[in-house]
Amino acid sequence: MTELTDLTAVQLVDGYRKGEFSPVDVTRAVLRRAEEIQPVVNAFVRLDPEGALAAAEESAGRWRRGEPAGLVDGVPVTVKDILLQRGAPTFRGSKSVSEEGRWDEDAPSVARLREHGAVFVGKTTTPEFGWKGVTDSPRHGVTRNPHDPSRTAGGSSGGSAAAVALGAGPLSLGTDGGGSVRIPAAFCGIFGFKPTYGRVPLYPASAFGTLAHVGPMTRDAADAALLLDVISAPDARDWSHLGPVPGSFRDGLDGGVRGLRVAYSPSLGGQVAVRPAVAAAVRDAVGKLASLGAYVEEADPDFTDPVEAFHTLWFSGAARVVQQLPPGRRELIDPGLREICAQGARFSALDYLAAVDVRMALGRRMGVFHETYDLLVTPALPVTAFEAGVEVPGKSGLRRWTGWTPFTYPFNLTQQPAATVPCGVDGDGLPVGVQIVASRHADAVVLRAAQALYGVGAALGVPRPTH
């Protein structure tokens, strides 16, 4: 018999509608699961059993009356502790943030979920201010991989990925400034989607500027489409948000990939050394797209690694994050973050504008590339999950997390929609992810391609973790 914690959000809503179980049943099961996994993976900074059960009771009453509040009424949801949630402190992984405060405002995506009746289970872990591609912080410790707790869950939305993978709620809100939704999704074997910039409103504005996106972290593409229907509604607090979406992201989700033009770039033109097990799993996923009728061609977008420009923008943003802290509190932050903040503070306005020039050129190149190809497919990452508690793989010789994430951050620079889909495991049983990228505003095409992959093999050979 299927456990309630194994059901997707789409299945939960269907079950509520049919009266097969109630939001209270599901919320109790999810809370038990969250409490079980917390000592193992450290996915949460806060659980709210009392608030979640009260919300579930209210939802159950609405369902009994046949009056659900919205698309995800009664569905358990978790929120990365970067996003504001009314009634809960938002620590952002930092000892420099005081628990004292009003905490009386929801971020736009959280507000939309509340309006649609979602049940908020808890806040999930993040590295300090979301600064790196793994999840550990001086305040909340190390978040571990559901498939092997000695390995990292990735980051910076690592707590959300671990929670979803282990059944502590089917939906989670993550943020992605350089891969922070897609990296942990790949390491934990779930679906992660970074929509087009502005598709999901963000408030307060990120110090990392227009690199920062909010995105769904879910069991599959269908759940992500459902969640995106909720959180993509405009919000006046974000001056850069996009207008309303005509229709639903679920419309045409099962349309398949027949006739789509797919560029398969296994290593970005030889720039990235990809581990053989990762390369093989991604190649197999690309083969599945071809078998489903996509026109697949090995082709590279032909751009030089924009890491220096990304560093200029990212490190400057980090410096801005801590600039407003009193000197005494700056000593509390992660030493690695303190290091990049010092580097960011040394950049000049001309350095920053030169990085913007690189960004605009890259965006133009990708715009032209997508006149020929509907999709670009790459590995999500060149490696699988490495040891927990470190920024880079041991003995890699790398200095910063960007050294092992060359497939993700370029598409934050260009603001394109990009998703990670599980596509297999390596020899140690650790998940591998394939990345699907489309032109700006073509979010539905990414979701449709991901849905097609899920349709030909549940999570494409990635087993559910047992930890």
Active site residue 80: yes
- Annotated catalytic residue, options 22, 59, 80, 206: 80
Active site residue 156: yes
- Annotated catalytic residue, options 156, 157, 206, 265: 156
List Cα–Cα distances, 463 to 147, 166, 369, 425, in angstroms: 9, 11, 35, 9
Q: State the Cα–Cα distance between residues 127 and 141, nearest whole angstrom.
A: 9
- Annotated catalytic residue, options 157, 160, 172, 180: 180
List Cα–Cα distances, 253 to 81, 162, 191, 248, 447, in angstroms: 30, 26, 15, 9, 7
Maximum pairwise Cα distance, the chain: 61
Catalytic residue list: 80, 156, 180
